[in-house]
């Protein structure tokens, strides 16, 4: 069975479609980073899927049929999840006034020319109440269904709760399934329910929590760690994840190269992972993290600086602690708290090089590394990482950064 993916994103729907026995012939996606992820998946999974990076409005469905060696009506499934921001409450349900809103109807344009046997759409349930040009609730969704019917499809829809099917997430989504001429499709019955209604009269499995799912994953690999091998104190919600790249053997090899290793006690807080949500950086409330710098560490830093050596921080949280403790006379010994927000223009006093992972967009840590190494340099590093299929975020790959000299 042959399928075509529209608005493919990072390929989540593709996974489910393939698991259902379909061959995904092509992905159409505008975002370059998503396309890089899709291409990496094609290589990893050894698929033959064509990844087409393009504004979907510029794609000619008839030409696409020719490129895929398909006849009209031969495609089994056309599926996708158009951008949801214009219909979501978070996006203020701007509907068709949002430039992303009309993209919903690209599915109709493709269906009219390709004539697939089945259309499958996923969208936020806010589409059901989004207002159109007349200001009527549900007007856009009704128009969408009418246009599907006008080209010969019979649509069925339902709001589906992920937890109802054994997924440990209270997430509702609108699904539309449309077939040509006659629609014999029926949405499946739920398999799970809240514990309060799981009785003899309603014999369903109770909702699953994340703990149950994690327990079902089996015993983790011995190499998988939640803390660094050199962690000693409790109190941190997470490891400085750049340190997870080190094991005892690697630390021994580093020492053998003549590199001195000193330690800082960090209590990483949950705020580390919070994105910047304000329009201006000055309005962002920075989280506070605790640290302790020993006399031995302060002395090692001073000695290294005196002989012209480099101070290399492992992790952005280590860097923040060292820069927060910086004084004219060296690094201050003892326990402290820091809420410094490091952005481009910050004057670094201690750290000369940094080993760090690849960070989330809009995160304070992404701004920190941009301040440290330079905005242009960080963009180049991320571009290279995406092209080469690096793994991102907490348990991903790392990059080596050197401090960009002050202008």
Q: Which residues are catalytic?
A: 84
Give the CA dihedral 100, 102, 106, 108, nearest 10 degrees: 150
Name the H helices within 151-289.
210-215, 248-256
SS3 content of the chain, % helix, strand, coil (to 5): 35, 20, 45
- Select from 100, 81, 19, 53 the least CA-distant residue to 386: 53
Q: Alpha-carbon distance 254 to 215, whole Å?
A: 36
CB proximity list for 128: less than 8 A, separation 6 or greater: 138, 141, 159, 174
Q: Which residue reads 């009704």 in tokens?
A: 142
Please give the angle made by the CA atoms of 230, 357 and 289, to the nearest 5 degrees: 60
Question: Crossing angle for the helix pair 32-45 and 375-388, nearest 10 degrees?
Answer: 30
Q: Alpha-carbon distance 407 to 403, whole Å?
A: 12
118 and 81 in contact (C-beta within 8 Å)? no
29's tokens? 């996606």
Phi, psi angle pair for 282, to nearest 5°: -65, -20
396's tokens? 């991903």
317's tokens? 């949280």
């Amino acid at each position: 069975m042959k399928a075509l993916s529209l608005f493919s994103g990072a390929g989540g729907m593709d996974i489910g479609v393939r698991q259902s026995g379909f061959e995904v012939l092509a992905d159409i996606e505008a975002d370059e980073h998503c396309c890089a992820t899709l291409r990496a998946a094609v290589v990893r999974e050894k698929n033959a899927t064509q990844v087409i990076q393009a504004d979907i409005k510029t794609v000619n469905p008839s030409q696409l049929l020719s490129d895929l060696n398909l006849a009209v009506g031969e495609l089994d499934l056309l599926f996708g999840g158009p951008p949801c921001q214009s219909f979501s409450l978070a996006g203020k349900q701007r509907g068709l006034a949002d430039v992303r809103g009309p993209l919903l109807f690209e599915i109709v344009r493709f269906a009219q020319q390709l004539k697939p046997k089945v259309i499958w759409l996923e969208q936020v349930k806010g589409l059901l109440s989004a207002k159109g040009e007349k200001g009527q609730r549900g007007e856009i969704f009704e128009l969408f269904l009418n246009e599907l019917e006008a080209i010969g499809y019979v649509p069925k829809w339902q709001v589906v709760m992920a937890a109802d099917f054994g997924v440990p997430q209270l997430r509702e989504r609108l699904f539309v399934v449309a077939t040509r001429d006659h629609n014999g499709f029926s949405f499946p019955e739920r398999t799970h329910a809240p514990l309060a209604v799981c009785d003899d009269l309603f014999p369903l499995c109770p909702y699953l929590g994340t703990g149950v799912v994690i327990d079902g994953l089996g015993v983790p690999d011995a190499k998988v760690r939640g803390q660094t091998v050199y962690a000693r104190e409790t109190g941190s919600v997470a490891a400085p994840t750049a340190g997870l790249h080190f094991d005892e053997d690697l630390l021994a090899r580093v020492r053998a190269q003549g590199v001195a290793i000193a330690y800082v006690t960090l209590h990483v807080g949950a705020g580390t992972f919070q994105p910047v949500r304000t329009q201006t950086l000055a309005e962002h409330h920075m989280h506070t993290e605790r640290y302790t710098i020993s006399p031995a560490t302060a002395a090692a830093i001073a000695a290294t600086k005196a002989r012209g050596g480099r101070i290399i921080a492992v992790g952005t949280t280590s860097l923040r602690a060292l820069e927060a403790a910086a004084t004219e006379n060296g690094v201050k010994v003892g326990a402290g708290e820091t809420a410094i927000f490091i952005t481009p223009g910050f004057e670094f006093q201690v750290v000369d090089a940094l080993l760090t992972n690849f960070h989330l967009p809009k995160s304070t840590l992404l701004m920190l590394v941009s301040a440290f190494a330079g905005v242009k340099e960080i963009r180049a590093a991320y571009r290279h990482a995406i092209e080469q299929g690096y793994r991102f975020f907490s348990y991903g790959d790392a990059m080596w950064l050197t401090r960009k000299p002050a202008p």
